[in-house]
Amino acid sequence: MTKKTFLLATGKINPENKHLLPEYSAKTSELMIKGGGKMVSVFMVKEAIFGENIPQTLAVLEFPDVESIRKVVDSEEYKAGISTREKCFTELNYFVGEQQ
């Protein structure tokens, strides 16, 4: 059985530009779905129990494989939104995970 591959995105929202987030998120989600991804869930972190550098957001997307994720983030369409992404977030991280 093939293990599922996930894109885990964590971020800290720039409060000065949070108004840009809905448009950026919609465009990015559209590209991820077009690239074979399926949105699993998006979370807003409410409270930290312990740890440092806690993100405000966490998004989980399922993909067929890591190559599909790389194709999306390496695409010209995705790269065209980088300047908006940099305005929306003070920090954004993408991680690839496998379901255990």
- Looking up residue 63, the CATH number of its domain turns out to be 3.30.70.100
Q: Domain of residue 61: give its range.
A: 5-46+55-98
Count the domains in the chain: 1
77 — pLDDT class (breaks 50, 70, 90): very high
- Taking only the tens place, the pLDDT of each residue in 13-54 is 999 999 999 999 999 999 999 999 999 999 999 999 999 889
Q: Which pLDDT value is given to residue 66? A: 95
Whether this model's pTM surpasses 0.85: yes
Q: Which pLDDT value is given to residue 65? A: 95
Nearest-CA neighbor of 45 among 21, 11, 16, 17?
11
SS (H, E, C) 22-85: HHHHHHHHHHHHHCCCEEEEEEECCCCCCCCCCCCEEEEEEECCHHHHHHHHCCHHHHCCHHHH
Q: Which helix (H) or strand (E) holds 10?
A: strand 5-13
- Taking only the tens place, the pLDDT of each residue in 18-28 is 999 999 999 99
CB 87 within 8 A of CB 17: yes
Q: Which pLDDT value is given to residue 1? A: 63
